[in-house]
Amino acid sequence: MLERRVIARRNLNRAWAAFVDFSFLLPTLIIFTVMIVIPFFMGGVYAFTDWNGMTADFNFVGFDNFIRVFGERRIANATWHTLQFTLYQTVSVNVVGLALAMAIHQATRFNRMLRTVFFLPFMCSIVFASFIWSYLYRDVGEEIFRVINPLSRMNTVIPGIALIALWRDAGYAMIIYIAALQGVPDTLYEAAMVDGIGPVRRFTKITLPLIVPAITVNVTLYLGWGLKTYDYVMAATGGGPGSASETIAMLVYYYTFPWNRTGMGQAFALLMMVGIVFATQGVARLLRTREVEM
């Protein structure tokens, strides 16, 4: 009898603990459902309609919105701009982040200070970073040093925005690479130096193969961020000059709100989401096979 009471009390305590845990999660689940899940499915429905975002009436148009997406020249240009920015950002951030990590991954007091300095830009908001660099380009570089403002020219605006992203995001990639480099055994480098292997071959034969998981994380991460970029461009140029820096995410916003073509905007958003998922998952899978091979 006593044993049954003990078991019953223990089960009651476990049930109470589970209820308390769920009660802490419940507000978050409600907010997530209301702000993310419900709008997502509603947007999926509106993608098949001609709703303008204002009136209560709309008609189902099937796949017409998805077909029109591939026929609009402005969308094609925005896709090209997005791919350009993603390429510039992903390559530059990973190269610079790895170079910084290689230079300061040793655990010294000076290196720890440098890590903080290089990581600080990532603590700034994207809007703040874009405003600061727009000021530097325009009022410092152009007015004082007579250097052409890259944001004012159609052929240099994307690299100019990518430079802002490089300044802000390289520190984050650096931290991930430092963590990977600290996991490489020093005995491998010592053995390679005894065998007379130079620094370049030590990097290609020892360091690079052992940090491929970190490369996979960083490349996939920045690829996804680049393909859905909105903040950098909107804050720095607003899509200009002309429409030379418009991105996919900006057009999703324009179609949905200012242009009152919500059905078209939602269809474009769904296609963008599918494209980002396939691109990031494809690249991640490709790099993971390289992890095994190396």
Q: What per-residue confidence (pLDDT) applies to 57?
A: 86
Provide the token pair at 98: 């790895």
Q: What is the pTM of this model?
A: 0.89
Torsion-angle region of 196 (φ positive above 0: left; ψ -120 to 50: alpha; else: beta): left
Q: What per-residue confidence (pLDDT) applies to 136?
A: 94
Contacts 24+ apart (CB under 8 A), 209-212: 209/294, 210/180, 210/183, 210/184, 211/98, 211/177, 211/180, 211/181, 211/184, 212/287, 212/290, 212/291, 212/294
Q: What per-residue confidence (pLDDT) applies to 1?
A: 59
Contact residues for 39 (Cβ-Cβ < 8 A; gap 6+): none
pLDDT digits (tens, 9 = 90+) for 122-157: 999 999 999 999 999 999 998 888 899 999 999 999
Task: Decide yes or no: CATH 3.40.350.10 for domain 64-293.
Answer: no
Buried-exposed string 22-43: b where 16+ CB fall within 10 A, e elsewhere: eeeeeeeeeeeeeeeeeeeeeb
Q: Which of 256, 255, 248 is nearest to 225 (CA)?
A: 248
For residues 249 and 230, the answer to whether their CB atoms sit within 8 Å is yes
Q: What per-residue confidence (pLDDT) applies to 293?
A: 53
User: What stretches in the chain show pLDDT beneath 70?
Assistant: 1-3, 6, 291-294
Provide the token pair at 128: 């703040």
User: Look-up: residue for tokens 């720890």?
Assistant: 112
Distances (CA, A) of 197 to 106, 191, 194: 21, 9, 8
In the chain, where are the structural domains located?
A: 64-293
For residues 256 and 265, the answer to whether their CB atoms sit within 8 Å is yes
CA atoms of 90 and 85, how far apart (whole Å): 8
3-state secondary structure of 259: coil
For residues 121 and 96, the answer to whether their CB atoms sit within 8 Å is no
Q: What per-residue confidence (pLDDT) applies to 16?
A: 79
